[in-house]
């Protein structure tokens, strides 16, 4: 579809969300339009602002994430600054990929929007959403340095790789583009050597307390840091993710992170349909039989990672594919 089509009224959307079984007041993080369209397109923006206003009027303190790569004006920023209850973050997707067949929106638009948002931020925060980083497309030293410079106009930066699934591989071949990886994967691909180059470009080196620019591997970590809060996804339990975090953020997360009560965990997991053993480790709650929505609901309730036992996260590649890393 080239044009967005509304499926329900803004009021119905908010009612459906806030009455959902998994929704928790002041706790569940909310993302608007992230899989459907860009929330700042002219035809969509009035609905974005209307939904934000309704959530705010309900007195909700939940994190609300607006993810865009489109134009944001000073007038838009004034609207965004007008919400007093929701914890609002605008994440600006910026890839710096020059191929129009892969990145249909000129990245200069996103760069300008980021600067505008950062320059007018009062009640909201803005994050540079540097994604996807793909070998051969936007991983030169020049690309990394431009991202570092752009990060000066954000409260935090998060970097991610590419979901290189079969549909995308087919698209690459149809365009005659060199394939960046030897195979597809169900998780985002971020090779170890590429991550090392990114960290070095941002001033991180072994033994330091973090990059000279606030840089994060996980979106929730960047969002939480931008608002001076502990990570709401409990990533502190996956301690190798934290080696690039600023010291102040480590203290916040350490202070908030608690091993949950096992009986409450089991009760909640069973209520959502978990089967087999429910295990509690020092890193995560391990369950079987639950897809992402109920796992995330448990995760947000306890502020502790919840993993599918059948899809394990390996050391140093949490949420990432194994491609580009030493064999486990």
Determine, yes or no, domain membership for 325.
Answer: no
Tracing tokens 């980021």 back to the chain, one arrives at 114
Residue 253 has pLDDT above 90, yes or no: yes
**What separation in angstroms does the CA of 266 have from each of 21, 107, 163, 298, 309?**
18, 46, 32, 10, 15
Give the pLDDT of residue 208: 53
Determine, yes or no, domain membership for 295.
Answer: no
Provide the CB-side half-sphere exposure for 71 (13 A, CA): 6
Chain segment 216-230, per-residue pLDDT in tens: 999 999 999 999 999
Give the pLDDT of residue 201: 93
Q: Identify which of 66, 65, 58 has the alpha carbon closest to the alpha carbon of residue 26.
A: 58
Give the pLDDT of residue 147: 97
**87 has which bridge partners?**
63
Q: What is the dihedral of CA 155, 159, 160, 161, to 10 degrees?
A: 150
Mean pLDDT of the chain: 93
Chain segment 113-128, per-residue pLDDT in tens: 999 999 999 999 999 9
Contact 192, 324 (CB under 8 A): yes
In angstroms, the CA 292 to CA 316 distance is 21
Give the pLDDT of residue 177: 82
Question: What is the C-alpha radius of gyration for the chain, rounded to an integer number of angstroms?
Answer: 20
Give the pLDDT of residue 309: 94
Task: Work out how many domains the chain is built from and give that number.
Answer: 1
Determine, yes or no, domain membership for 319.
Answer: no
Q: Residue 175 sits in which domain range?
A: 10-256
Mean pLDDT across 287-315: 94
- Provide the CATH number for the domain around residue 62: 3.80.30.10
User: Is the alpha carbon torsion for 282, 280, 256, 23 positive or negative?
Assistant: positive
Determine, yes or no, domain membership for 270.
Answer: no
Determine, yes or no, domain membership for 297.
Answer: no
Sheet holding 63-68, edge to edge: 30-32, 63-68, 87-94, 125-130, 156-159, 215-216
In angstroms, the CA 228 to CA 231 distance is 9
Measured CA angle at 278 (ends 274, 283), to 5 deg: 120
End-to-end Cα, the chain, rounded Å: 41
Determine, yes or no, domain membership for 321.
Answer: no
Percent of the chain with pLDDT over 90: 77
Contacts of 216 (CB under 8 A, 6+ apart): 156, 157, 158, 159, 222, 225, 244, 245
Q: pTM value? A: 0.94
In angstroms, the CA 76 to CA 96 distance is 24
Tracing tokens 């594919």 back to the chain, one arrives at 321
More confident residue, 63 or 187: 63
Determine, yes or no, domain membership for 249.
Answer: yes
Task: Decide: residue 202, CB within 10 A, 0-12 exposed, 13-18 middle, 19+ buried.
Answer: buried
Q: Identify which of 58, 47, 48 has the alpha carbon closest to the alpha carbon of residue 15.
A: 58
Contact 105, 69 (CB under 8 A): yes
Tally of helices (H runs) and strands (E runs) in the chain = 11, 9
Helix H or strand E encompassing 18: helix 10-18
Contact 265, 298 (CB under 8 A): yes
Mean pLDDT across 156-166: 93
Q: What is the dihedral of CA 108, 110, 115, 116, to 10 degrees?
A: 110
In angstroms, the CA 218 to CA 231 distance is 10
Mark residue 68 as left, alpha or beta (left: phi above 0; alpha: psi -120 to 50; beta: remaining). Answer: beta
Residue 31 has pLDDT above 80, yes or no: yes
Mean pLDDT across 224-251: 96
Determine, yes or no, domain membership for 230.
Answer: yes
300 band by pLDDT with thresholds 50, 70 and 90? very high
């Amino acid at each position: 579809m080239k044009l967005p089509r509304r499926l329900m009224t803004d009021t119905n959307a908010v009612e459906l969300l806030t009455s959902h079984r998994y929704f928790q007041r002041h706790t569940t993080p909310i993302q608007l339009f992230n899989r459907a369209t860009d929330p700042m397109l002219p035809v969509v923006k009035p609905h974005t602002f209307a939904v934000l206003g309704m959530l705010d009027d309900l007195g909700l303190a939940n994190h609300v994430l607006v993810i865009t790569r489109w134009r944001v004006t000073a007038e838009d920023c004034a609207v965004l600054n007008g919400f007093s209850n929701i914890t609002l973050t605008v994440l600006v997707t910026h890839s710096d990929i020059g191929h129009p067949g892969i990145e249909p929106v000129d990245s200069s638009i996103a760069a300008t929007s980021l600067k505008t948002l950062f320059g007018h931020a009062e009640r909201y925060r803005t994050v540079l959403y540097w994604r996807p980083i793909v070998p051969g497309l936007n991983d030169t030293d020049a690309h990394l340095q431009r991202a570092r410079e752009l990060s000066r106009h954000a409260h935090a930066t998060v970097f991610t790789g590419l979901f290189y699934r079969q549909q995308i591989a087919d698209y690459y071949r149809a365009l005659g583009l060199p394939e960046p990886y030897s195979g597809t994967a169900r998780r985002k691909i971020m090779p170890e050597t590429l991550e090392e180059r990114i960290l070095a470009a941002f001033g991180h080196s072994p033994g330091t307390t973090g990059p000279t620019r606030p840089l994060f591997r996980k979106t929730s970590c960047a969002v939480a840091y931008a608002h001076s809060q502990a990570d709401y996804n409990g990533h502190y339990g996956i301690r190798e993710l934290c080696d690039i975090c600023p010291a102040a953020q480590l203290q916040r997360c350490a202070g908030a992170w608690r091993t949950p009560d096992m009986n409450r965990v089991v009760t909640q997991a069973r209520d959502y349909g978990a089967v087999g053993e429910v295990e509690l480790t020092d890193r995560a709650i391990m369950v079987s039989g639950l897809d992402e929505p109920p796992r995330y609901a448990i995760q947000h309730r306890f502020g502790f990672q919840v993993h599918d036992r059948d899809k394990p996260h390996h050391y140093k590649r949490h949420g990432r594919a194994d491609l580009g890393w030493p064999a486990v």
